[in-house]
Amino acid sequence: MITAHHLKKVYQTGEIRQEVIKDLSLEISEGEFISLVGPSGSGKSTVLNMLGCLDTPTKGDITINGSPITGMNRTKMAHFRGENIGFIFQSFNLIPVLSVYENIEYPLIMIQNLPEEERKSRVLTLLEEVGMLDHKDKTPDKISGGQMQRVAIARALVTNPKIVFADEPTANLDTKTAHMIIELMKKIQREHQTTFVFATHDEKIVSNVDRLITLVDGEIVADQRMNK
C-alpha cells in the first residue's frame, strides 16, 4: 500500500539548517492500523505529512498504491490525495462559515462530485456514528473542541479513503468519546480494509494498533508487531 525509501527532510531558514528526517524507509500494507510514536520533535508529524501528500521529502521516494508520489506536481498530488487519502488534523481545519453538515459534505462536492442523495446518505450516517447528528446545522464556533474533532474525523472518513492519516486525533476528546472514535475507526478498518496511520502519544490509540513504529531524532529505532 505505502512504500517509502530513504526519506530525508531538511528545513532551511536563512543559514539555519534543520534535518528533521534522516534516511527513513518503511513499508505499510493494506488494512494495517499503525501508530508512529516518539518524543516531541522526533519527526512523527513530518513523516505523516510526507506520506499523506501534504509535504514533499528533500530526498527519497514514496509510492502509494503503485503510484509514485514524489514525482507528481502539486495539482496531481492534490487530486491523488483527494481520491485516496483522508487526513485528520489536531487543529481540525474546519471551514468556519460552513455548518457541521456542510463541512463533512464539502469533499464529496469538491473532490468526488457525488449526487446529492448519495452525499446526504454518507454525511448523515457518519454524523450519527460520531454522535453529531443533533449539531449538524451549527457552525464550528458554536460547538466544543471535542465536537469539532468529531466533525473533522467524519470529514476524513466520508470519501471512503483507502488510507487515513491522523495527527493526534484524540487529543481534544474526553475518554469516552475517544474510545468511541477509536472503535469507529477499527470498524471501518475491518469492513473496508482501510489503512490507518496515526502520529500520537495517546495510549488509548497505541493499545489498539497492530504495529508500533518508534521514531527518535528523525530515525526509526523500533518497528514492533503488537500481540493482541
Contact between 214 and 222 under an 8 Å Cβ cutoff? The reply is yes
DSSP bridge partners of 28:
2
CB-based burial label for 182 (10 Å; 0-12, 13-18, 19+)? buried
Share of the chain above pLDDT 90, in %: 58
- For cell 472518513, the residue is 157
pLDDT digits (tens, 9 = 90+) for 95-145: 999 999 999 999 998 877 888 999 999 999 999 988 899 999 999 999 988
Mean pLDDT over each residue of the chain, to the nearest integer: 91
> pTM for this structure?
0.89
Contact between 172 and 180 under an 8 Å Cβ cutoff? The reply is no
Q: Among residues 109, 108, 99, which one has the least CA distance to residue 138? A: 99
Domains, the chain, in order of start with CATH, read 2-225 (3.40.50.300)
DSSP character at residue 71: T
Predicted confidence (pLDDT) at residue 228 exceeds the cutoff of 70: no
Predicted confidence (pLDDT) at residue 44 exceeds the cutoff of 70: yes
Q: Say what the pLDDT of residue 145 is.
A: 83
Contact between 202 and 170 under an 8 Å Cβ cutoff? The reply is yes
The span from the CA of 46 to the CA of 9, in Å, is 8
How many CB atoms sit inside 10 A of residue 171's CB? Answer: 15
